[in-house]
Chains A and B, each alone.
Chain A
Amino acid sequence: MRIIRLIAVGLAFHVKSLTLSIFFLLTSVFMPLLVATVAYYMFKAGGKPGTLFYASLGASVYGIWSSTLFGSGGAIQWQRWQGTLEVLVSAPAPFVLVVLPLTLATSAIGVYSLVSTLLWGRLVFGIPFTIEHSLAFVVAVPATILGLGLLGLLFASTFVLYRHANALSNMLEWPVLLVTGMLVPLSLLPGWSHPIAWVLAPTWGVRAIREAALGGTPWPDVGITVALGAAYLALGVVCLRYFESAARKRATLSLT
């Protein structure tokens, strides 16, 4: 019960805090809108207007990914800059339960991305908004947010040792956007990139959301997204323990 309360209170606190951050509004609202707009014009000019809703959904998940990536990169870095990392690590609650609400919050505010991108497409480009499997869509969105939030936890745990985590965030944004098929179908990418896509939750999350919206079989994708999330959680806990211990031993925890 205490664990649930800690996660719930932490999640609510961080969602409020991130909502007030202009940087996060930029990553979760402006960036997906821009990527969606570029994709709309590219598809229209390329003679593929039928794919605009497909692009909308992909750009929405990109927004969730983007805010999760920069959030998880910053989760440790901001605490370092503010001088609170050592305090949090030495708190009685397990450190993973302190970081988890933050990474979940960064993916949860990706809902702003979903809503704004779909509204933008509808209002500015007249893209019809029709959902084939409403129930599956309503389940697929939180499942994707959960999967990405737990992936964020795994990133954050590995960033404990690395002082320039934001550089890794800058670097990882594009490769994951490309290989997970958010806007470019996997079939167009080289075969060697497919196994990378398979172990990334955004691949299955965006498939689940698309299959629910456009018609198909979303439930297996929802299941894989959640299963991958569970694997990230297990790995994240192990990594966080190991890297936290290593950072304590090397006395590098608060070095910026």
Chain B
Amino acid sequence: MSVEAEHDAGRVTAFARVFFVGGLIAYRGLFNWIRPSMYIPTMLIGPVFQILFFAYLGRYSGLEDDAFFVVGNAVQASAMSAVFAGTMTIANERNFQTLSPLLATPANRFALFMGRALPVIASGLLVSAWGFVMGRLLLHFHPPLASVPALALVTVVSVTSCTAFGLTIGSVGMRARDVFMSANIAYYLMWLLCGVNIPLDALPGWLSQIGRLLPLTHGIAAGREIAGGASLRSAGGLVWTELGIGAAWAAIAFTLVRWFEHEGRRRASLETY
């Protein structure tokens, strides 16, 4: 093997190590809710009651059936992980005063920050899957068995897309004073804007337009079609749109990370509040 080839192999190994191992370590160190005593009540029990609440409110309002609310809220519950964990795994570097040493390393920035998405996505999938299972057990939600793989795929795409959105909010935490308030507001606004509980055509036009630019909106719509018996092919357009929106948010997140790093160095404000 030539020296150049060895260098290339070394770079790939370093990239993979920072992306996978570094991402996992960052998630474990920076996600405040990772302890079971926090994770179970907040990430698992809370969302079940959120699903039940909106399903019962849906029954009372006569808007839609249980399946509408189970799919919407089970997918949206993944945002608990995507938005809050995504935010914490970047913004807490600054809170814990580790941002400067981190940025002093020569590590590839894409691997350093985007690698944190994988554990966040895994956690989001767990939360969503739990929501679907509890919806199946507690409410009138009985999707055809054949639709489960497609529903799982749509959930993976939606959670990934939403995680990119969470990383965007987290990257703002490299500059903003209190990004967790923004994370809270963004998470809760999804109930209104992403078609989680209200069909987009029931919202004013400008609100539904905002919803169409956010993650989860198209994924939830695709999930509902598939849970209703449609094929993955027929919901393909929605799935690709969700993926595209996720890619756009990931690009925004990475651009902001690089910009705030550059600005933080230039203004010596990386860890000032």
Contacts and interface: CB of A to CB of B under 8 A. Distances in A.
Interface of A: 22-23, 26, 30-31, 34, 37-39, 41-48, 51, 163-164, 166-168, 170-171, 173-175, 177-178, 183-185, 188-189
A26 B178 CA distance: 13
6 contacts: A31-B188, A42-B57, A46-B64, A168-B41, A174-B53, A178-B53
Contacts of A171: 41-42, 45-46, 49
Given A22-B181, A26-B184, A45 B198 contact: yes
A228 B13 CA distance: 64
Interface stretch (B88-96, B160-168, B189-197, B256-264): B189-197
B188 A45 contact: no
A42 B49 contact: no
B56 A184 contact: yes
B46 A174 contact: yes
A46 B62 contact: yes
B105 interface: no
Interface of B: 33, 35, 37-38, 40-42, 45-46, 49-50, 52-53, 56-64, 178, 181, 184-185, 188-189, 191-192, 197-199, 202-203
Contact of B191 (A34, A166, A188): A34
Contacts, number: 95
Contact of B41 (A37, A44, A48, A167): A167
A183 B178 CA distance: 32
A39 B57 contact: yes
Nearest to B80: A170
For chain B, what secondary structure do more than half of its interface residues adopt (helix, strand, loop), or is it mixed?
A: helix
Given A30-B185, A34-B189, A178-B49, A46 B63 contact: yes
A45 B181 contact: no
Interface centre among B35, B60, B64, B185 (most CB of A within 10 A): B60
A182 to B, nearest CB: 10
Given A183-B53, A184-B57, 11 more contacts: A22-B178, A30-B188, A39-B61, A42-B198, A43-B63, A164-B37, A167-B37, A171-B42, A173-B46, A173-B49, A183-B57
B61 A43 contact: yes
Contacts of A184: 53, 56-57, 59-60
A39 B188 CA distance: 14
B181 A26 contact: yes
A26 B52 CA distance: 23
B41 A189 contact: no
Given A37-B192, A42-B197, A183-B57, A174 B203 contact: no
Contacts of A51: 61
B60 A188 contact: yes
**5 closest A-B pairs (Cβ-Cβ)?**
A174-B49, A46-B61, A46-B63, A171-B41, A45-B202
A40 B177 CA distance: 33
A203 to B, nearest CB: 15
Contact of A45 (B37, B38, B41, B63): B63
A177 B199 CA distance: 23
A178 B49 CA distance: 8
B53 A23 contact: no
Contacts of B198: 38, 41-42, 45
Contact of A42 (B46, B61, B184, B189): B61
A120 to B, nearest CB: 13
B224 to A, nearest CB: 15
Contacts of A46: 58, 61-64
B181 A167 contact: no
A168 B42 CA distance: 8
Given A45-B63, A45-B202, A170 B41 contact: yes
B197 A38 contact: yes
Contacts of A168: 41
Nearest to A174: B49
Nearest to A175: B49
A156 to B, nearest CB: 17
Nearest to A168: B41
Contacts of B42: 167, 170-171
Given A34-B192, A167-B42, A171-B42, A42 B63 contact: yes
Contacts of B56: 178, 184, 188-189
B139 to A, nearest CB: 12
B53 A177 contact: yes
Nearest to B37: A164
A46 B54 CA distance: 13
B203 A47 contact: no
B12 to A, nearest CB: 41
A37 B57 CA distance: 13
Nearest to B61: A46
A171 B38 CA distance: 10
